[in-house]
């Protein structure tokens, strides 16, 4: 049997909390918008599983991927065959806060 080339994606607990906050905000605006946000989040996770090295470097160890047209990005690191997603941030937040969360 052929070994999968996919990386395991692990989400820090705070990523799920921040996702829920953003989702609830978008849901209050429009349920369709919240659904689209969820799709973009899941698509980003799929992309990280398949090609985590293809995205923008923040530092030597941290990288980021955007969530389509939404003003959010996932900050992550790659460790062996795993992608550790450390944060979900609004693009307007200061990059220094990405390391403190």
DSSP 61: S
- What pLDDT digit, counting tens, does each position of 64-81 carry? 999 999 999 999 999 999
Domains located in the chain, CATH noted: 8-100 (3.30.2310.20)
Tokens found for residue 56: 């923008």
The whole-model pTM stands at: 0.88
Can you say whether residue 21 is alpha, beta or left, with left for phi > 0 and alpha for psi between -120 and 50 degrees? alpha
Long-range contacts of 55-62 (CB under 8 A, 24+ apart): 58/95, 58/98, 62/86, 62/98, 62/99
pLDDT tens per residue across span 3-18:
468 999 999 999 999 9
The secondary element (H helix, E strand) that includes residue 82 is strand 82-90
């Amino acid at each position: 049997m052929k070994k999968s080339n996919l990386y395991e994606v692990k989400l820090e607990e705070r990523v799920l909390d921040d996702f829920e906050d953003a989702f609830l905000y978008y849901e209050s605006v429009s349920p369709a918008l919240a659904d689209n946000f969820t799709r973009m989040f899941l698509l980003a996770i799929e992309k990280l599983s398949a090609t985590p090295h293809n995205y923008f470097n923040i530092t030597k160890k941290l990288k980021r991927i955007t969530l389509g047209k939404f003003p959010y990005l996932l900050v992550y690191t790659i460790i062996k065959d795993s992608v550790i997603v450390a944060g979900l941030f609004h693009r307007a937040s200061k990059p220094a806060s990405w390391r403190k969360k």
